[in-house]
Amino acid sequence: MYSSTDSPVMVSDVMSTISDMETALGSEFDRPTSAHSNEKRIDEWAHFPMCHHCTSGSFSDGTLYNNVVDFGSSDLHLGVDDTLFKTHRHILKKFAKFDEHIKHIEENHPDFIPVIKMSYDKHTETDFRNTFKILYASVVDGPFEFEPSVLASGLRIATAYEYPGLQTFCITRLEAAPLPPLQRIQLSQECGIPSWKERAYSDFCSREEALSAEEARTLGIDAFVTIAKRREEEQRRRAAEAVARKEKIQGEFTPLFAPEKSHPLLETVKNLESIDILCTHHVMVFVAIVSYIAALVSEAVAWVSDVTATDPAFSQVVLAKPSDNDILRSIKDSYAQVVDFGAGDVYFGVGNILFKTHKHILNGFTVMGDFIESDHQDRPNSVTTMHIDAGVHWEKAFTDTFKMLYVSAYKGLFKFEPPVFISALRASSGHDDPELKSFCVSNLNDALLDPITRVKLARECDVPSWLQQAYDKLCEQDEPISKDDARILGIDAGDDNSKADRRLPERFEKILPPHEDISSPIAADKSERATENSSRTLKVLPTSIFDTPVFDIPALISILAALMICDHSQLRTFAISKLDPLVTDPVDRITLSRKYKIDRWEEDALKDLSVRKEPITPREASAIGLETFERLARMRNEHLDLKYDRRLPKVQPGAGDLGSNKLKGRQTEALFQELQKHKKKLDTIEEAVKEVLLVQNEQYDRAIKVHHSELLGQECYVPSPKICYMYF
């Protein structure tokens, strides 16, 4: 039992507690499949206004709940079996059936926290508990994957109470889940998914085990007969294939790369005799003997980057706590705009905008959270009210910030523009929300911001890592430093110095910041551009995890950047795993590896560059640095020495049969002599190599075994007198 003095529980704490309570699928599918009508379901609901003096878990109808799951700052209670879920209206209103009933409760009992009591046993407490796991899933805390039992519960609840989005999400995930055929059929019947029945029949037919008596009873006579017939047909088909199957051919060579005569690789080769042949077990690799510098660089490519202007700074503000009457009067008379996020339990006024938001959203801000807790102790049964007496800069800052705060893993991620992140960065810096600040910083790390603007933001919002990034960008640009830029950077703005080339090392040294306090207070700025930007309208689109979020490269890099400030091992692992297959360019992987401390990426990328045929470009050389560039050049040369190993002695073949002699190498000229003896015509390089490697062995009855040590120059044994190894 929980007492009324229990402190609210954060969503992340609840989710970790819930994850330990998952149940197996088997028991869930054994429930009767007879359906209750929607009318009966609604009639069996009851709502009981909570009395202010009663304890948590007991209500005016005498119902006692032994288990309480509190999602924090709840405004609606849902009783299922012996468990009470303290949840939120804007969550349950996504279900059409719940929305209809909640509206009825609000009309008749506007002053109480409503309680919806489920008085029948078709959907158990486990179903609702699992469904809340999905509904409260966060893009940061997860979970990102759900067990089949959780998805099955979510599908049942979404189907029964009409939430199409959740229903589609669960069906999509369960399509790929390893559900037993019998369970899939039961879900198909219960939730109206006819396509699953056919798939379950196919699974039954391909399964090795015979159908059990319990499965036959559950399926019914018609389904059982259909499956039995299909299983017999499948067994006959497999038997026929086994009889007709031919003996597998062994020792066949597979060309990995076989260039034609016109292939670009051969353009620098004077004649075909200079082609090298490198063969391994079941693999042939064709390479050209072409001497070139491993670190050959081509002409530089000009890179053009856009410059995104930033919003002006804003002044420090003080939170005020007006009375309920003041808020009501402000809504009517003072606030020019009201943004309602649905069933809000906090009235948060900023300048001329009133945000009707939620406590569990604002609790992430340290200042806001303390303020809300203090107000709850003073006025436990009242709506929390706050007001910031500030200008349009703060209005825009919180408008953009709420865009971000109401994005969870539910319906995917928005692609916010840099001004939105800048506004949220300022708001989180001013009101001490480290997680939101690190999220904004990470997203702005790779944004196309003007270097001077980035310097201003770095000093304004205490982001020292941006200073070096901005200085590097300034040094790469060809344009001279203007007088205004020089004043911002603290450089002598004389006419001569202001025109100096940014690429010079001494210029870079001048740009380096002096020892100063970069955490300077946020300065007020009342420019015209601030007024223009503040007129943007807010589009509130609450999201959920079941609309398949798309994590693109900038978003994942932003997460890693944020985690350099606020450590979160689970989120870091998730971001790296998602980013790994997306970033394919070796230089990009090296850059990210160094910047965000992903050690294994740099070594893997260097290996890829060392075996690449294309030369290293100036951009790549500049990105990896001189020391790494020199190391890479050595690696590329070592790779060439190993691949084209010219140090091996050349052995001329004897006349007649090759015999079971030991060979280390053979020149390509001997290849043509051997072909002439057998009167073979050379059409392609690939055909020539096959003929030599398979001389007098047209049946492919022997497999060549070549070990890695042989490629390093050790002697290799030819197991058959009819097959030879070729090394050049």
Residue spans per domain, the chain = 11-176, 254-289+648-717, 319-538, 553-643
CATH architecture of 319-538: 2-Layer Sandwich (3.30)
State the angle between helix axes of 221-244 and 194-206 in degrees (0 to 180), rounded to the nearest 10.
50
Asked whether residue 328 carries a pLDDT value surpassing 50, the answer given is yes
Asked whether residue 11 carries a pLDDT value surpassing 60, the answer given is no
User: Looking at 48-62, 441-455, 517-531, which range is the least confident one?
Assistant: 517-531
How large is the C-alpha radius of gyration of the chain?
35
**Residue 277 CB burial class (10 angstroms; 0-12, 13-18, ≥19):** buried
What's the pLDDT score for residue 86?
A: 92
Q: Strand runs (DSSP E) across 597-684, as ranges?
A: 662-663
Asked whether residue 199 carries a pLDDT value surpassing 60, the answer given is yes
What's the pLDDT score for residue 87?
A: 92
Greater model confidence, 162 or 618: 162
Query: 333 with 352: CB under 8 angstroms?
Result: no
Alpha-carbon distance values, 22 to 1, 25, 59, 610 (Å): 21, 9, 28, 49
Give the residue carrying structure tokens 């790494």: 628
C-alpha triplet 481, 487, 490: angle, nearest 5°: 95
Alpha-carbon distance values, 631 to 592, 615, 636 (Å): 19, 15, 9
Strand order in the sheet with 283-288: 254-257, 283-288, 275-280
Question: What secondary structure letter does DSSP report for 272?
Answer: G
Kindly report whether the peptide bond that precedes residue 143 is cis, defined as omega within 30 degrees of 0.
Answer: yes
Report the chain's mean pLDDT, rounded to a whole number: 62
Give the residue carrying structure tokens 């020089």: 486
- The verdict on pTM exceeding 0.85 is no
Q: Which of 449, 505, 508 is nearest to 311 (CA)?
A: 449
Greater model confidence, 32 or 579: 579
Tell me if 11-176 shares its fold with 319-538.
yes
Going by C-beta distance under 8 Å and a sequence separation of 6 or more, which residues neighbour residue 150?
22, 130, 133, 134
Q: Strand runs (DSSP E) across 227-373, as ranges?
A: 254-257, 275-280, 283-288, 319-320, 337-340, 346-350, 353-357
Which CATH number is correct for 11-176, 3.30.200.100, 3.30.710.10, 3.30.300.20, 2.60.98.20? 3.30.710.10
Give per-residue pLDDT as tens, 402-415: 766 666 543 444 56
* Span between the terminal Cα atoms of the chain, in Å: 81
Asked whether residue 716 carries a pLDDT value surpassing 80, the answer given is no
Give per-residue pLDDT as tens, 165-177: 898 889 988 888 8
| Rounded mean pLDDT, 7-36 | 36
- Written as six digits, the tokens of 158 are 């979404």
| Rounded mean pLDDT, 196-222 | 77
Q: Which of 613, 684, 668 is nearest to 260 (CA)?
A: 684
